């Protein structure tokens, strides 16, 4: 039974790490749109019934328009995904990925709640990330709890 659980957590690490590496690579696949392109695209969705689509466009385009945030997010996803896949650094990778997977989950919860499949997928990624951290929590427990002398 313990061996099956260990194999399951290895699969979790490979799945989450691979997913993050793929997402990080995708951040660099398309060129960043010019501000005028973003405005033109946003104007197409300015009607009240398309407000949720407009929010997504403005949010992601805003992250891209900073000139650094989208790229930093991509590098972090790549680096932390690699750390997660590697044997000795899996815990650090899972710990560092926690805010990123939380952010991805919350993005889909609040801005794409109608996309049930993506919401399930991102909640599974976040749950896997939490499980990976909790499995090895004793590695950082001494940082969180003061033991009596």
The domain locations on the chain are 2-32+67-144
Q: Indicate the pLDDT class of residue 149, thresholds 50, 70 and 90.
A: low
pLDDT > 90 in the chain, percent: 59
Quickly state the pLDDT bin for 34 (edges 50, 70, 90).
Answer: confident
Q: pLDDT of 52-100, one tens digit each?
A: 888 888 888 889 998 899 999 999 999 999 999 998 899 999 999 999 9
What mean pLDDT comes out for the span 95-121?
94
CB 133 within 8 A of CB 98: yes
25 pLDDT higher than 70: yes
DSSP state, residue 146: P
Q: Distance between CA atoms of 54 and 47, rounded to whole angstroms?
A: 9
Would you say 119 and 112 are in contact if contact means Cβ atoms under 8 Å apart?
yes
pLDDT reported for residue 104 = 95
Distance from C-alpha of 17 to C-alpha of 78, rounded to nearest angstrom: 8
Provide the H-helix boundaries in 2-147: 2-26, 35-43, 51-65, 69-85, 90-111, 116-135, 141-144
Please give the share of the chain, as a percent, with pLDDT higher than 70. Answer: 95
- Residue 28: predicted pLDDT: 93
* Mean pLDDT, rounded, for 16-36: 92
Helix 51-65 and helix 69-85, axial crossing angle in degrees, nearest 10:
90
pLDDT band at 147 (very low <50, low <70, confident <90, very high): low
* Tokens read off for 15: 């799945």
């Amino acid at each position: 039974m313990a061996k099956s659980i260990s194999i399951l957590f290895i699969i979790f690490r490979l799945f989450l790490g691979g997913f993050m590496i793929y997402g990080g690579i995708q951040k660099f696949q398309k060129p960043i749109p010019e501000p005028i392109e973003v405005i033109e695209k946003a104007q197409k969705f300015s009607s009240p019934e398309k407000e949720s689509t407009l929010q997504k466009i403005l949010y992601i385009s805003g992250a891209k328009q900073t000139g650094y945030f989208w790229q930093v997010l991509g590098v972090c996803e790549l680096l932390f995904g690699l750390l997660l896949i590697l044997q000795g650094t899996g815990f650090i990778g899972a710990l560092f990925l926690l805010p990123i997977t939380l952010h991805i989950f919350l993005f889909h919860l609040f801005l794409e709640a109608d996309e049930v499949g993506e919401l399930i997928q991102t909640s599974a990624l976040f749950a896997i990330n939490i499980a990976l951290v909790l499995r090895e929590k004793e590695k950082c427990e001494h940082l969180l709890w003061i033991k009596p002398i």
